[in-house]
A and B are shown apart, each in its own frame.
Chain A
């Protein structure tokens, strides 16, 4: 049989076509839903009509990138990663009951369509709105560019046969800037900008919901298959431990051999041998006991300070991401928020714990992968190879990250274009814009943002990943304290909120700056760009603390806010008012 006739090579491609098709269809359906009522509220906020499923499964799941990284960590460091993501047990509660109700309330009181709108209305200050908007535009632009790159890479991997040979989605992995990459990039850009342009906010939420469901199905299938293959979790843990000890013995011997060759001035190592030597150096530290105990196999992955930090990072970071806040603003009612808590609790339980099981089984079945990033794609291919329709199933699992990336990009497109239209165009260019102008500007802004992201990826910036890591943390550091102040503190002033935003971002900038310039400690995940963990804590912890203290202090030092404004935001509305 000729190679191109071998259907098993098209699994990923077929799955991608299905995902793209469904996303396009969701865009069209969303367009019908948003075309009722005002364009702004419809397109950017889905007419505040989000129901339980959409809210629960899209408001707190951060980005495809986070989810893609977890399996590799579990495979690399073992059971300690259960504690690393353990805080997700409480995310459903904190995500909706901490500020959810109040954000939804405030956004109606202020008529806010975007997060900066919310701040502008709450403090009656265009300056606060503008600064907030500029910050979000800055942070999100880099995150958007990186997600475009990830999308293009997945697309180029869908080429028949390509996924099986490459399989890595590591964002810092070297990529070939070849024809496949450019075709992938173009298709990705056209698809995601296209359906977001059609359906706006709702299209982005619905595609996100779709990929969340897809992810859950994928994890469930893998859970059953890998438990069967490994003979249960206890056996998998013990097998993995025993095999890791053997891997370590072999790796030590290999490493010693390479060292001896270098020392004795023998034949220089080839590139492939250098790679093997680097892997042997890591694998020599493997140990079965390290895999099933803390603080992580072969590395101080989660010392006590970081264990506490990640309970802060995942929880309060999620609460203050603009994408989450926007979705909470769009909730239909407080009952939706309450039910979302329950739905998301159950969803997280069925995603994260099974994911741990799958990756522990993977360690017992494939004890020595040199690229841990490929653990899920490899498991998908191995586990499904013998069953009917296995190619398509593994294709779906391999393509799931693509869905996640599309949903994230689509959400960023909405936030960015709404920022440009609301905070730049409507405020500075054409304050009297009518609905027709706004609609036209929205389309221009969204296509413009897409073109910028596309252009930046024609020759991807080298240190993009460093910027992305910084932006993700910076946005949390800058926004958490201001959001809490806006929601619950009557005495908060606009100066206080501005100071809180600035100081939070500044702390993150300093700690990441220190880390990037060589002061990062050898703890935590082994990412290429790590911050300086002051007293062993994550920068976000410091940023939240500093920005909270600064925000309170500056508010108390500045004149009290206008009593009428505060009353309008906090008190029962008088019937005489609108």
Chain B
């Protein structure tokens, strides 16, 4: 049940945390999945003639790591500038007197 008094910062931070976990899970599933399916124990002859290279990267590394890495940079930037919200962090409370 949402709490009506909740600081908007807490609410937005929680929403951003959930979105972050979703993006992380997507990155994990895609990268590990793609590399596992296309890069693990691949039967190749020693001359590597069946391996395609994109910008020098073996195909599975290119599509499984390099491309999603680029995508992550773009998504992270969008997340930071469009989705994530600013909020005042509040004043700094001193707990000196509560120490005892």
A residues bordering B, Cβ < 8 Å?
Answer: 38, 41, 48, 79-80, 82-83, 86-87, 89-90, 92-94, 97-99, 101-102, 104-105, 108-112, 117, 121, 232-238, 241-242, 245, 287-289, 292-295, 304, 307-308, 311, 315, 331, 333-335, 337-339, 341-342, 345-346, 349, 353, 357, 426-427, 431-432, 487-488, 490, 567, 570-573, 578
Give 20 A-B contacts (CB < 8 Å), ordered by A residue: A48-B92, A83-B65, A87-B28, A93-B23, A101-B84, A102-B14, A105-B90, A108-B92, A108-B93, A109-B90, A233-B53, A237-B53, A295-B40, A311-B27, A311-B28, A333-B89, A334-B89, A349-B73, A427-B99, A570-B3
Q: Residue A289 contacts which of B35, B44, B93 (CB distance < 8 angstroms)?
A: B44
Q: Given contacts A293-B44, A571-B6, are A311 and B32 in contact (CB under 8 A)?
A: yes
B5: A residues at CB distance < 8 A: 567, 571-572
Nearest-CB residue, chain B, relative to A104: B89
Q: Check B13–A105 contact: CB distance below 8 A.
A: yes
CB pair A86 B36 closer than 8 Å: no
- Of all chain A residues, the one with the shortest Cβ separation from B55 is A233
Q: Is the CB of B31 within 8 A of A83?
A: yes
Contacts of B96 in A (CB 8 A): 111
Interface contact B36-A97, CB-CB below 8 Å: no
Q: How far is the CA of A99 from the CA of B9 in the complex (A)?
A: 12
B48 touches A98 (CB 8 A): no
A237 touches B58 (CB 8 A): yes
Name the distance in Å between B46's Cβ and chain A's nearest Cβ: 6
B46 touches A293 (CB 8 A): no
Is B24 within 8 A of A90, CB to CB? yes
Taking the closest CB of chain A, its distance from the CB of B59, in whole angstroms, is: 10
Say yes or no: A426-B99 contact (C-beta < 8 A), given A90-B72, A102-B13.
Answer: yes
Q: How far is the CB of B76 from chain A (nearest CB, A)?
A: 5
Q: Residue among A111, A112, A293 with the most chain B CB within 10 A? A: A293
Q: Which chain A residues lie closer than 8 Å to B36 at the CB level?
A: 294, 304, 307
Tell whether, in the assembled complex, residue A110 and residue B93 are in contact, meaning their CB atoms are under 8 Å apart: yes
5 new A-B contacts at CB < 8 Å, known A83-B32, A90-B27, A333-B86:
A41-B92, A93-B79, A234-B53, A235-B56, A345-B72
Minimum Cβ distance to chain B for residue A226 (Å): 12
The contact of A578 among B24, B93, B99, by CB within 8 Å, is: B93
Q: Are A101 and B16 in contact (CB under 8 A)?
A: yes
Residues of A within 8 A of B42 (CB): 289, 293-294
Enumerate B51-92 residues with CB–CB distance to A below 8 Å.
Answer: 51, 53, 55-58, 60-61, 64-66, 68-70, 72-73, 75-77, 79-81, 84-87, 89-92
Task: Establish whether residues B72 and A238, one from each chain, have CB atoms under 8 Å apart when the complex forms.
Answer: no
Q: Find out whether the CB atom of B93 lies under 8 angstroms from the CB atom of A109.
A: yes
Could you tell me the distance between the alpha carbons of A90 and B73 in the complex, rounded to whole angstroms? 8
Evaluate contact between B31 and A292: CB separation under 8 angstroms.
no
Complex contacts, B10 vs chain A, CB 8 Å: 102, 105, 488, 570
Neighbouring A residues of B76 by C-beta, 8 Å: 90, 92-93, 341-342, 345
B87 pairs with A334, CB closer than 8 A: yes
In angstroms, Cα B93 to Cα A307, docked, is: 43
Q: How far is the CA of A98 from the CA of B23 in the complex (A)?
A: 11
Q: Are A238 and B17 in contact (CB under 8 A)?
A: no
A144 to chain B, nearest CB (A): 26
**Would you list the 3 A-B pairs with minimal beta carbon distance, nearest first?**
A233-B56, A294-B40, A111-B95
Q: When A and B form their complex, what is the total count of cross-chain residue pairs whose Cβ atoms lie within 8 Å?
A: 222
Chain A residues contacting B60 (CB-CB under 8 Å) are 293-294
Chain A residue numbers with a CB within 8 Å of B68 are 86, 89
Chain B residue numbers with a CB within 8 Å of A571 are: 3, 5-7
Tell me whether B65 and A86 are in contact (CB under 8 A).
yes
Q: Which residue of A lies closest to B14 (CB)?
A: A488
A52 to B40, CA, bound (A): 39
Contact assessment for B86 and A335 in the assembled complex, using a CB-CB cutoff below 8 Å: yes
Given known contacts A89-B72, A294-B36, A341-B79, A108 and B46 CB-to-CB distance under 8 angstroms:
no
Q: How far is the CA of A342 from the CA of B74 in the complex (A)?
A: 9
A342-B80 contact, Cβ under 8 Å, with A86-B65, A89-B68, A293-B40? yes
| Partner of B9 from A86, A102, A238, A289 at Cβ < 8 Å | A102
Residue in B6, B23, B39, B44 whose CB lies within 8 Å of A80: B39
Q: Complex Cα distance A110/B14, Å? A: 19
> Contact partner of A311 among B24, B51, B89, CB < 8 A?
B24
Across-interface contacts of B46 in A (CB, < 8 A): 241-242, 245, 287-289
In the docked arrangement, what's the CA distance between A101 and B88, Å? 10
B32 and A431: CB pair below 8 A? Answer: no
Residue of B17, B53, B76 ringed by the most chain A CB atoms within 10 A: B76
CB distance from A88 to the nearest CB of B (A): 8
Which residue on A lies nearest to B31, using beta carbons? A86
Instruction: Give A307's nearest chain B residue, CB to CB.
Output: B32
| Contact between A293 and B41, CB atoms less than 8 A apart | yes
- Contact partners of B94 in chain A: CB under 8 A: 38, 111
CB of A441, distance to nearest CB on chain B (Å): 14
A41 CB contacts on chain B under 8 angstroms: 92
Q: Determine the chain A residues whose CB is within 8 A of the CB of B81 once the complex forms.
A: 338, 342
Given contacts A110-B95, A333-B86, A345-B73, contact A293 B39 (CB under 8 A): yes
As a 0/1 sequence over residues 14 to 39 of chain B, the CB contacts with chain A under 8 angstroms (1 = contact) are: 10110111011001100110011001
Give the chain A neighbours of B69 by CB distance below 8 A.
Answer: 86, 89, 349, 353
A83 surroundings in chain B (CB, below 8 A)? 31-32, 35, 39, 61, 64-65
* Alpha-carbon separation in the docked complex, A346 to B73 (Å): 7
A24 to chain B, nearest CB (A): 30
Residues of A within 8 A of B41 (CB): 293-295
Distance between Cα atoms of A232 and B31 in the complex (Å):
25
CA distance A341 to B92 in the complex (A): 24
